């Protein structure tokens, strides 16, 4: 639903159908209310009417995407997968938007991956000798939907793998914490790296630069703690506040991944109709 | 009262006390002494479970697999258990290798309102033909109706039992009685209790849990555990004897393991220091104690104030990074007030 609001706001995209499974779901109800065509036949709705769209955003679950992906491929759709399925090519727009567009199925990694992989990559460019990077992503329980919960294992593994893949660090580790506190916490990411003699000024400058790039498509992306060195480890903290499109502002974890997905879709549309 | 079974978490929860530096020799010696004592399972590993050796919560001296293998070699009658927190480890990197190395039973822990994230792990463990136990941590944060709802999810995933963890040691006798009775009445699977000793009630609360229908006691010898420590298993066994209940555990073996293997690695006697009492009062996870003390020293603030503020923020286990955040804020407030 948050994605739908972002698509509607886009000058390059239009939503032709919003599908789900449960006619009573809040998402379907809300979409109807704002005049969007809906269906409760999930992917069948696209099979029934293949010309209805060019781009498909899949926000189901990793398991479901494994079934959807080959179907959509046959239909020749450009697929942006927001589950941690790992089916398509991983994409973090600030790093590899261009590469992503060459593929027909793009995986948006995870919110933690979107938030931290670019910083890990920046750090490794300055200090290629780093051997270990760790990410702690804390998100509010309220913003972790049933999909995230059912896929917690894929979510954790994919986040870790994305940090290794994008930064080249030999070993990464991702910790995911669901925090039930009320009022809900904003998405909070802490990145640690083990390092001796960090070039702190260069790191601070580079990290600020990358953060500013991300902020262009994720306005709520903020450095909560600029790179800080103590006890042989470098710590960086990032908070992500949602834009409050549909979900409340604490859901920064969803905002960052839907924003990244829309960024990819817009670029695809721009390239296609240029 | 039903005859209880005992989970010995000494080497796992006690790992917090020594900042996860328990040696292979200690694990081997300890397991040898407990094996065949009548204790149902020994839980081994990093204090935060499989895959938790990290900068966030502290590195272990040995890898999960080294610890598991050492315990495996020493245990024949008593089962070998591991602990796991979803979000810390993954099936591929941590859980599957642990089962391959011979773990018989896995306690899958989660904050008490988040049981649905245990599904993948409970199902995986059960699917591999091993025992999965659901653990609801910080149980004092949710009403009993909600706890039942969460416990039922674990039951539906295939958990063999559900253990309530009083992670902050802030239970009163009434809370234990009402919660355990309610869960026992409505669940098909056994209920267990894991007590912390912040308000010096760990043994008493464990006894009350048994009186209320629980059948699993999860504790540690000498009460070895972070902060104020845990329910002292030897004391519960002795207390049961006094009440004419045969716990089926050889008391002397537990006493010997505590005296001969644990005592040498305990840096100080297990006791309840002021900070632990405050953490119990604030209802904050006891495992935070060493981190809070360090942050208090570093930023020149009162550790008790840090705990009370963490309690107000409702932090959960695993959010050790917030401790520094709180310490910094308190330090700022102090300067402003001067």
Contact residues on chain A for B116, CB-CB shorter than 8 A: 146, 149-150
Looking at residue A86, its pLDDT comes to 86
The residue behind tokens 């700022």 is: B332
C-beta atoms surrounding A131 within 10 Å: 10
Verify that A162 and A212 share a domain, yes or no: yes
Q: Searching chain B, which residue's CA lies closest to the CA of residue A172?
A: B54
Looking at residue A132, its pLDDT comes to 97
Verify that A122 and A236 share a domain, yes or no: yes
Closest CA to A60 of A73, A43, A46, A37: A43
Q: Searching chain B, which residue's CA lies closest to the CA of residue A136?
A: B56
Position A206 pLDDT exceeds 70: yes
Nearest-angstrom CA–CA distance, A28 and A36: 9
Give how far B58 is from chain A: nearest CA, Å: 12
Looking at residue B130, its pLDDT comes to 98
With a CB cutoff of 8 Å and minimum separation 6, the contacts of A153 are B86, B90, B91, B120, B121
| Known catalytic membership, residue A111 | yes
Structural domains in chain A (count): 2
Give how far A31 is from chain B: nearest CA, Å: 28
Task: Report the Cα B137 to chain-centroid distance in Å.
Answer: 8
Nearest-angstrom CA–CA distance, A221 and A207: 12
First to last CA, chain A: 28
CATH number at residue A74: 3.40.50.720
Same fold, B5-265 and B274-337: no
Position B286 pLDDT exceeds 80: no
Verify that A202 and A265 share a domain, yes or no: no
Verify that A103 and A129 share a domain, yes or no: no
Max CA distance (Å), chain A: 60
Contact residues on chain B for A190, CB-CB shorter than 8 A: 56, 321
Contact residues on chain A for B90, CB-CB shorter than 8 A: 153, 156-157, 160
Q: What is the pLDDT averaged over residues B316-320?
A: 73
Domain that holds residue A20: 2-108+255-273
Contact residues on chain A for B295, CB-CB shorter than 8 A: none
Verify that A127 and A36 share a domain, yes or no: no
Pick the residue of A152, A182, A238 with the most B CBs within 10 A to test the interface with B by mutation: A152
Domain range summary for chain B, segments of one domain joined by +: 5-265, 274-337
Verify that A20 and A121 share a domain, yes or no: no
Looking at residue B234, its pLDDT comes to 97
Q: Do A146 and B116 touch (CB under 8 A)?
A: yes
Pick the residue of B63, B85, B117 with the most A CBs within 10 A to test the interface with A by mutation: B117
Looking at residue B295, its pLDDT comes to 93
Q: Do B314 and A182 touch (CB under 8 A)?
A: yes
Position B317 pLDDT exceeds 80: no
Helix (H) or strand (E) holding A192: strand A187-194
Mean predicted lDDT score pLDDT of chain B:
95
Q: What is the pLDDT averaged over residues B102-107?
A: 98
Q: Searching chain A, which residue's CA lies closest to the CA of residue B112?
A: A180
C-beta atoms surrounding B119 within 10 Å: 21
Q: Searching chain B, which residue's CA lies closest to the CA of residue A233?
A: B55
The pair of three-digit structure tokens given for residue B85, joined into one six-digit string: 């927190």
With a CB cutoff of 8 Å and minimum separation 6, the contacts of B135 are B83, B107, B108, B109, B110, B162, B163, B165, B194
Position B285 pLDDT exceeds 90: no
Position B319 pLDDT exceeds 80: no
Looking at residue B318, its pLDDT comes to 66
- Range with lowest mean pLDDT among A93-97, A190-194, B44-48, B315-319: B315-319
Task: Report the Cα A37 to chain-centroid distance in Å.
Answer: 25
Pick the residue of A61, A131, A143, A180 with the most B CBs within 10 A to test the interface with B by mutation: A180
Q: State the ipTM, two decimals.
A: 0.90
Contact residues on chain A for B88, CB-CB shorter than 8 A: 156, 175
Contact residues on chain A for B56, CB-CB shorter than 8 A: 134, 136, 175, 190, 192
Nearest-angstrom CA–CA distance, B338 and B335: 5
Give how far B327 is from chain A: nearest CA, Å: 14
Verify that A201 and A261 share a domain, yes or no: no
Looking at residue B90, its pLDDT comes to 97
Phi, psi dihedrals of residue B106, rounded to the nearest 5°? -125, 125
Of chain A, the percentage scoring pLDDT greater than 70 comes to: 100
Per the annotation, binding residues of B for Mn(2+) are 13, 194, 196
Radius of gyration of chain B (CA): 19
Task: Report the Cα A141 to chain-centroid distance in Å.
Answer: 17
Q: What is the pLDDT averaged over residues A67-92?
A: 94
Verify that A77 and A127 share a domain, yes or no: no
Give how far A144 is from chain B: nearest CA, Å: 10
Q: Do B120 and A150 touch (CB under 8 A)?
A: yes
Verify that A66 and A98 share a domain, yes or no: yes
Give how far B56 is from chain A: nearest CA, Å: 8
Pick among 1.10.101.10, 1.10.8.60, 3.30.70.1560, 3.60.21.10: CATH of B274-337: 1.10.8.60
Per the annotation, binding residues of B are 12-13, 167, 194, 196
Verify that A104 and A178 share a domain, yes or no: no
Tell me if B111 sits within 8 A of A178, measured CB to CB.
Answer: yes
Looking at residue A188, its pLDDT comes to 92
Q: Do B55 and A134 touch (CB under 8 A)?
A: yes
Q: Do B111 and A178 touch (CB under 8 A)?
A: yes
Q: Do B86 and A153 touch (CB under 8 A)?
A: yes
Looking at residue B338, its pLDDT comes to 64
Q: pLDDT-based confidence at B334, cuts 50/70/90?
A: confident
Per the annotation, binding residues of B for substrate are 12-13, 167, 194
> Domain B5-265 falls in which CATH fold?
TIM Barrel (3.20.20)
Give how far B97 is from chain A: nearest CA, Å: 15
Verify that A32 and A51 share a domain, yes or no: yes
Nearest-angstrom CA–CA distance, A84 and A1: 18
Verify that A53 and A86 share a domain, yes or no: yes
Contact residues on chain A for B288, CB-CB shorter than 8 A: none
Closest CA to B8 of B57, B61, B45, B58: B45
Tell me if B276 sits within 8 A of B169, measured CB to CB.
Answer: yes
Position A9 pLDDT exceeds 80: yes
Contact residues on chain B for A147, CB-CB shorter than 8 A: none
Three-class secondary structure assignment of chain B: CCCCEEEECHHHHHHHCCCCCCCHHHHHHHHHHHCCCCCCEEECCCCCCCCCCECCCECCCCCHHHHHHHHHHHCCCCEEEEEECECCECHHHHHHHHHHCCCCEEEEEEECCCHHHHHHHHHHHHHCCCEEEEEEECHHHCCHHHHHHHHHHHHHHCCCEEEEECCCCCCCHHHHHHHHHHHHHHCCCCEEEECECCCCCHHHHHHHHHHCCCCEEEEEHHHCCCCCCECEHHHHHHHHHHCCCCCCCCHHHHHHHHHHHHHHHCCCCCCCCHHHHHHHHHCCCHHHHHHHHHHHHHHCCCHHHHHHHHHHCCCCCCCCHHHHHHHHHHHHHHHHHC
Minimum-distance CB partner of A181 among B55, B92, B313 = B313
Tell me if A81 sits within 8 A of A66, measured CB to CB.
Answer: no
Pick left, alpha or beta for residue B160 (phi over 0 → left; psi -120 to 50 → alpha; otherwise beta). alpha
Give pLDDT tens digits for A106-149. Answer: 999 999 999 999 999 999 999 999 999 999 999 999 889 887 89
Q: Do B315 and A179 touch (CB under 8 A)?
A: yes
Pick the residue of A137, A178, A225, A231 with the most B CBs within 10 A to test the interface with B by mutation: A178
Q: Which of A15, A53, A91, A111 is catalytic?
A: A111
* Residue-level length of chain A: 274
Tell me if B163 sits within 8 A of B218, measured CB to CB.
Answer: yes
Position A35 pLDDT exceeds 80: yes
Minimum-distance CB partner of B318 among A149, A175, A182 = A175
Beta bridge partners of B243: none
Give how far A42 is from chain B: nearest CA, Å: 24
Q: Searching chain B, which residue's CA lies closest to the CA of residue A148?
A: B117
Q: Searching chain A, which residue's CA lies closest to the CA of residue B121?
A: A153
Q: Do B55 and A178 touch (CB under 8 A)?
A: no
> pTM of the entire structure?
0.92
Give the count of Cβ contacts less than 8 A between chain A and B. 81
Looking at residue A273, its pLDDT comes to 85
């Amino acid at each position: 639903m948050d994605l739908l609001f972002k698509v509607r706001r886009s000058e390059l995209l239009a939503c032709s159908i919003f599908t789900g499974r449960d006619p009573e779901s809040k998402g379907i109800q809300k979409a109807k209310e704002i005049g969007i065509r809906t269906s409760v036949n999930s992917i069948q709705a696209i099979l029934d009417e293949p010309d209805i769209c060019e781009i498909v955003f899949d926000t189901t679950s990793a398991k479901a995407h494994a079934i959807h992906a080959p179907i959509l491929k046959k239909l020749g759709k450009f697929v942006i997968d927001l589950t941690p399925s790992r089916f398509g090519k991983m994409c973090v727009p600030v790093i590899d938007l261009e590469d992503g567009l060459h593929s027909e199925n793009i995986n948006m990694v995870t919110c933690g991956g979107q938030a931290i992989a670019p910083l890990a990559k920046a750090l490794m460019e300055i200090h290629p000798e780093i051997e270990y990077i760790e990410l702690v992503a804390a998100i509010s329980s309220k913003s972790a939907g049933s999909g995230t919960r059912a896929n917690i294992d894929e979510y954790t593994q994919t986040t870790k793998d994305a940090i290794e893949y994008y930064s080249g660090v030999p070993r990464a580790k991702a910790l995911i914490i669901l925090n039930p506190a009320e009022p809900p916490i904003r998405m909070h990411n802490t990145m640690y790296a083990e390092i001796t003699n960090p070039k702190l000024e260069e790191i601070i400058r580079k990290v600020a630069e990358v953060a500013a790039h991300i902020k262009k498509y994720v306005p709520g992306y903020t450095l909560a703690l600029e790179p800080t060195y103590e006890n042989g480890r470098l710590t960086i903290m990032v908070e992500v506040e949602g834009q409050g499109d549909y979900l409340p502002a604490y859901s920064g974890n969803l905002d960052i991944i839907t924003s990244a997905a829309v960024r990819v879709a817009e670029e695809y549309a721009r390239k296609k109709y240029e | 009262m039903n005859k209880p079974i005992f989970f010995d978490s000494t080497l796992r929860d006690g790992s917090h006390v020594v900042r996860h530096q328990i040696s292979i020799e200690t694990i081997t010696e300890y397991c040898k002494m407990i094996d065949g004592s009548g204790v149902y399972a020994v839980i081994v590993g990093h204090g935060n479970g499989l895959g938790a050796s990290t900068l966030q919560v502290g590195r272990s001296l040995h890898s999960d697999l080294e610890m598991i293998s050492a315990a495996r070699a020493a245990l024949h009658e008593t089962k070998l258990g591991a602990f796991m927190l979803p979000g810390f480890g993954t099936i591929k990197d941590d859980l599957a290798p642990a089962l391959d190395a011979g773990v018989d039973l896995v306690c899958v822990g989660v904050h008490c309102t988040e049981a649905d994230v245990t599904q993948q792990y409970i199902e995986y463990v059960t699917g591999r033909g091993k025992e999965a136990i659901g653990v609801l941590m910080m149980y004092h944060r949710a009403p009993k109706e909600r706890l039942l709802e969460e416990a039922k999810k674990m039951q539906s995933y295939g958990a063999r039992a559900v253990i309530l963890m009083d992670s902050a040691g802030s239970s009163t006798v009434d809370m234990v009685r009402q919660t355990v009775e309610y869960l026992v009445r409505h669940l098909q699977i056994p209920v267990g209790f894991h007590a912390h000793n912040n308000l010096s009630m760990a043994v008493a609360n464990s006894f009350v849990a048994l009186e209320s229908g629980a059948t699993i006691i999860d504790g540690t010898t000498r009460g070895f555990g972070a902060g104020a420590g845990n329910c002292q298993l030897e004391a519960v066994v002795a207390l049961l004897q006094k009440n004419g209940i045969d716990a089926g555990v050889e008391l002397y073996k537990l006493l010997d393991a505590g005296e001969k293997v644990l005592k040498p690695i305990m840096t100080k006697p297990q006791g309840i220091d002021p900070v632990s009492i405050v953490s119990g009062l604030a209802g904050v996870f006891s495992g935070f104690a060493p981190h809070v003390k360090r942050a208090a020293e570093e930023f020149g603030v009162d550790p008790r104030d840090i705990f009370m503020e963490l309690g107000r923020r409702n932090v959960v286990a695993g959010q050790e990074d917030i401790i520094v955040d709180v310490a910094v804020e308190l330090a700022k407030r102090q300067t402003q007030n001067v």
